[in-house]
Amino acid sequence: MAAAPGWEPGVRSLASTYLAPRVPELCCGVPAGRAVVYLMVFVIVALVLLLVLLSMVWPPDSAWSPWWRTSRRVARIQCRLAGVSSTDVVYDLGCGDGGALVVAAREFGASGVGVEIDPLRATVARARAALGGVSDRIRIRRANFFDVDLTPATVVVMYLVPPALKRLRRKIQSELRPGTRVVTYVYQIDLPLLASDERERVYVYEVQ
Ligand SMILES: C[S@@+](CC[C@H](N)C(=O)[O-])C[C@H]1O[C@@H](n2cnc3c(N)ncnc32)[C@H](O)[C@@H]1O
């Protein structure tokens, strides 16, 4: 049924008042709603890329340092140089994704404890230990290494920046038994040096 001619202008004005704002406007040829979604995705991707870039220059003892890790090849060199064997209990302070510990357990028969403050990396380390079939010999603790008792360790491995190594030195000397080997990668710690591979920047010390 057609509306009476006198009603038409009123209906049009009602439509323009209530319906027009709901019709998506165009923004650069894209409906406004979709443009907002594109913008949000762009901002999120840009933020993630920024974090990844920052993480590459962040100090390696920071929870924002995912790309500073020990390769399997270097982990083998560390174990060989420190004489890691099945009788050893290896503590990796700031174990990251647990890769170095998995090498010590799988290839050298050691047992070990990984201490990692970052929950995501601690979870990844547990998963790697399980996938590597060594979760019965490796325990990953999500904790601050300054709060962890180091007395059971026979070998301590660290890939940390000098300020962290300097602070840990006191703890190492007071908690570790004489003869315990301490392995650092890239940076050095002020302890009696036992062996080193200068080219690979692997240093092994012995607690006196
Ligand atoms: C350079 S990464 C080394 C990771 C692993 N050890 C490797 O060599 O592949 C240093 C790690 O130490 C962790 N970390 C830093 N401060 C820590 C703390 N106070 N307690 C436990 N973990 C810490 C960081 O989250 C990071 O995963």
Indicate if ligand 1 lies below 6 Å from the C-beta of 61.
yes
Closest to 69 (Cα-Cα) out of 60, 57, 59: 60
Of all atoms in ligand 1, which is nearest to the CA of residue 99? 9
Determine the distance separating the centroid of ligand 1 and the alpha carbon of 116, expressed in angstroms. 6
pLDDT tier for residue 10 given thresholds of 50, 70 and 90: low
Indicate if ligand 1 lies below 6 Å from the C-beta of 69.
yes
**Mean pLDDT, all residues of the chain:** 87
- Threshold 0.75, pTM exceeds: yes
Rounded Cα distance between 92 and 82, Å, is 13
Of all atoms in ligand 1, which is nearest to the CA of residue 60? 1
Task: Name which of 24-28, 65-69, 76-80, 141-145 the model is least confident about.
Answer: 24-28
Cβ neighbours, 10 Å, residue 40: 10
pLDDT tier for residue 119 given thresholds of 50, 70 and 90: confident
Tokens representing residue 58 in the block: 């962040």
Residue 21, pLDDT above cutoff 70 = no
Q: How far is CA 150 from the centre of its chain?
A: 22
Q: Is residue 123 part of a domain?
A: yes
- For 46-88, write each residue's pLDDT tens digit: 998 887 777 666 666 666 565 688 999 999 999 999 999 999 9
What does the pLDDT average to over 32-56?
85
Tokens representing residue 119 in the block: 């929950």
Q: Is residue 62 part of a domain?
A: no
Please give the biggest Cα pair distance in the chain: 103
* 29 and 96 co-located in one domain: no
Indicate if ligand 1 lies below 6 Å from the C-beta of 98.
no
CB 73 within 8 Å of CB 51: no
What does the pLDDT average to over 113-142?
95
What does the pLDDT average to over 17-28?
53
Determine the distance separating the centroid of ligand 1 and the alpha carbon of 155, expressed in angstroms. 17
Rounded Cα distance between 88 and 153, Å, is 8
Alpha-carbon distances, residue 22 vs 16, 19, 157 (angstroms): 10, 5, 62
User: Could you tell me which residue, 161 or 136, shows the higher pLDDT?
Assistant: 136
Bridge partners of residue 111, in order along the sequence: 89
pLDDT for the residue 18: 52
Give the H/E segment covering residue 12: helix 8-18
Which range marks the domain in which residue 23 is found?
10-57
pLDDT for the residue 3: 45
Q: Is residue 166 part of a domain?
A: yes
What is the number of structural domains in the chain?
2
How would you classify the pairing of strands 138-142 and 111-116?
A: parallel
Dihedral over alpha carbons 199, 201, 207, 208 (to 10 degrees)? 40
* 98 and 181 co-located in one domain: yes
* 147 and 179 co-located in one domain: yes
* 40 and 16 co-located in one domain: yes
